[in-house]
Amino acid sequence: MNKRTLLIRGGAILALLVVSVFLFLVGKSHSVLVDNKAVDDLPALSLVEVEVNKLGSLELTPRDRDKFDVTGQRHSLTVTYTDQMWEEHVIRRTIKIPLMQDMVMVLLPVLVANPDADQSLWLELYEPPTYAVTMAEEEEVVTDDLAGLVTDLDM
Amino acid sequence: MIKMTNSQKVIRFLANNTVPILFLVISAIGIPLSGYSANYLVSEVIVRLVRNSFLIVSLLIPILAGMGLNFGMTLGAMAGQIALIFITDWGIVGIPGMFLAMIISTPISILLGWWCGKILNMAKGREMVTSYIIGFFMNGIYQLVVLYGMGPVIPIRNKALVLPRGYGIRNTVNLAGIRKTLDNLVVIRIARVPIPVATFALILLLCLFVLWFKKTKLGQDMRAVGQDMEVARAAGIRVEHTRVISIIISTVFAGYGMILYLQNIGTLNTYNSHMQIGMFSVAALLVGGATVAKANIRNVFLGVTLFHLMFIVSPMAGKNLIGQAQLGEYFRVFVSYGVITISLVLYEIRKKRELALAGQSLAQAQEAQP
């Protein structure tokens, strides 16, 4: 193999690796939970509208939690709420989700109380409880479609 | 050269197209019995074309190289499935997920294709049966890796993918993240029938690649190897190397085809999805009028249409005719295997007949000489 061929092949492999990393970053899915529950001494908001990117807004009442499914790491978050004086406020922030984190949760009362604070204050890395992920029952592995037919014949 | 009469020409046409004609007759009988509307049948056939064409086109290049029908395409299908398990575990969705799966499957397919090609070079003349058995052998390795290796050796983060015992992948993997992403990317409706333009564009791209490839130096080498290995070797073509490359290309495309197939279905049957894919793809190609030694893109589309039309129609036709849809299911399974048998037998008969005709014309030419 001459030097030119080696360079072309090496370049092609490198380009594929770069494309793979790009696809990984662009296609990685995350769930953004938006949570309107009281946190310590901060009460839940009576009515709040939340939108992530341009995925459509969700209205949350106290104790509500909802979810946005997004891909990529950077997202815009828009929170619209009305205070006790019936004045409407809009908070616009950009969130950055850690690459391998599947779920994050936005604590809305904390964000509204500290609209300029660092995202680490109101964006929680969320791990779903194990019972929600794994089923307890055993699962029989079927590696051969014909196995069932043979059993049927035996009966 | 012996001049043929019109009736001889008709008989020759019928003999050369026995299988497609047989399927046309079966479909012509089955369609009215099934009671399906034309609109439903057309939309179903389009779904099957989108789902299967890429896989079947992957069979064309080994035929060009004289290696027959590559039942070893299941190796590529396994590579595609492993890639899909990885992207599901990592949570990569949509079009990027699908293309990342294709990239991941490529080195696995190349490795398996190279290995399969090397073995087929040791079994010249018996490539089809050898590749068929290689598929079974590799299925064992695949099961070992997926059932015991994934979890303890190959890390799997997503607990929903892993069996309750803590290692091995579950029987079914939900591909919701990539389900119909390509099919739904660009859809146009003609007479209320949805046409997935993006998937057809990808299939068209592969067809154009195959047509272009046949005209390249490597493609011509493959044709020469397919016609006569010894003549090709005498002409300075690296016969074994060319044959290995044809199998590698076929395996890589089979991997991509499997990813397209499963993105359309949306669920991966971890231990079964790849098992029948080789058989059904080969059967569809043969139904389209291809032989062990000659196949083209027209055969692919005609084959998918006729073969899957029968698949769609036969359960309902069976139900309406006999009262049991199950009989229609059995019918389509035995027809799939039967058509491969008929095609192989017809190919041998045709080969002998052509040899006899060549002998006759040679004898006539010798007699004509003073």
Per the structure block, which two tokens stand in for B79? 């590579």
Position B2 scores a pLDDT of 57
For residue A143, the chain B residues in CB contact (below 8 A) are: 143, 147, 271-272
Type of residue numbered A70 = V
**How far is residue A97 CA from its own chain's centroid?**
8
Residue B127 domain-assigned? yes
Position B233 scores a pLDDT of 95
Distance, first Cα to last Cα, chain B: 18
Residue B257 domain-assigned? yes
Q: Is the pLDDT of residue A142 over 70?
A: no
User: A43-61: per-residue pLDDT in tens?
Assistant: 999 889 999 998 999 999 9
Indicate the residue of A71, A141, A142 with minimum beta-carbon distance to B93: A71
Per the structure block, which two tokens stand in for B145? 């890796």
Contact yes or no for A30/A126 (Cβ under 8 A): no
User: B37-80: per-residue pLDDT in tens?
Assistant: 999 999 999 999 999 999 999 999 999 999 999 999 999 999 99
User: B88-123: per-residue pLDDT in tens?
Assistant: 999 999 999 999 999 999 999 999 999 999 999 999
Indicate the residue of B91, B96, B275 with minimum beta-carbon distance to A23: B96
Distances (CA, A) of A137 to A40, A41, B116, B166: 38, 41, 39, 12
Q: CB neighbours (10 Å) of residue B189?
A: 9
User: B68-78: per-residue pLDDT in tens?
Assistant: 999 999 999 99
Encode burial over B50-59: b for 16+ CB neighbours within 10 A, e otherwise.
Answer: bbbbbbbbbb
**Does B370 touch chain A if contact means CB atoms closer than 8 Å?**
no
Per the structure block, which two tokens stand in for B192? 């209320």
DSSP letter (8 states) at residue B2: P
Band (B174; pLDDT cuts 50, 70, 90) = very high
Indicate the residue of B143, B164, B276 with minimum beta-carbon distance to A136: B164
Q: How far B92 CA sits from the closest chain A CA (Å)?
A: 4
Position A145 scores a pLDDT of 54
Band (A153; pLDDT cuts 50, 70, 90) = very low
**Does B171 touch chain A if contact means CB atoms closer than 8 Å?**
yes
Helix intervals (H) in B268-324: 277-287, 297-322
Are A20 and B97 a contacting pair at CB < 8 A?
no
Are A16 and B100 a contacting pair at CB < 8 A?
no
Tell me the mean pLDDT in the region A67-77: 94
- Rounded Cα distance, B145 and B156, in Å: 12
Type of residue numbered B50 = V
Classified as helix, coil or strand, B242 is: helix
pLDDT averaged over every residue in chain B? 91
Q: Find the residue in B nearest to A129 (Cα).
A: B159
Position A40 scores a pLDDT of 86
Backbone angles phi, psi at B295, to 5 degrees: -150, 150
Contact yes or no for B302/B52 (Cβ under 8 A): no
**Does B96 touch chain A if contact means CB atoms closer than 8 Å?**
yes
For residue B276, the chain A residues in CB contact (below 8 A) are: 145
Mutate to test the interface with A, among B86, B103, B178 (most CBs of A within 10 A): B103
The CATH number for B69's domain is 1.10.3470
Q: How far B272 CA sits from the closest chain A CA (Å)?
A: 6
Position B232 scores a pLDDT of 95
ipTM of the complex: 0.85
- Rounded Cα distance, B276 and B145, in Å: 20
- Rounded Cα distance, B98 and A120, in Å: 33
Q: How far A24 CA sits from the closest chain B CA (Å)?
A: 6
Q: Is the pLDDT of residue A152 over 50?
A: no
For residue B95, the chain A residues in CB contact (below 8 A) are: 27
**Does B94 touch chain A if contact means CB atoms closer than 8 Å?**
yes
Band (A132; pLDDT cuts 50, 70, 90) = low
Residue B1 domain-assigned? no
Those of residues 197-256 in B touching chain A at CB distance below 8 A are none
Q: Is the pLDDT of residue A155 over 60?
A: no
Domain A29-133, classified CATH 3.40.30, yes or no: no
User: B129-146: per-residue pLDDT in tens?
Assistant: 999 999 999 999 999 999
Position A125 scores a pLDDT of 93
Domain layout of chain A by residue ranges? 29-133
Q: Find the residue in A nearest to B169 (Cα).
A: A141
Classified as helix, coil or strand, B105 is: helix
Tell me the mean pLDDT in the region B240-268: 96
Q: How far B11 CA sits from the closest chain A CA (Å)?
A: 41
C-alpha neighbours within 13 Å on the C-beta side of residue A104: 25
Angle value at C-alpha A73, between A67 and A79, nearest 5 degrees: 45
Range of the domain at B258: 6-368
Contact yes or no for B288/B304 (Cβ under 8 A): yes
Q: pTM for this one?
A: 0.88
- Rounded Cα distance, B158 and B172, in Å: 14
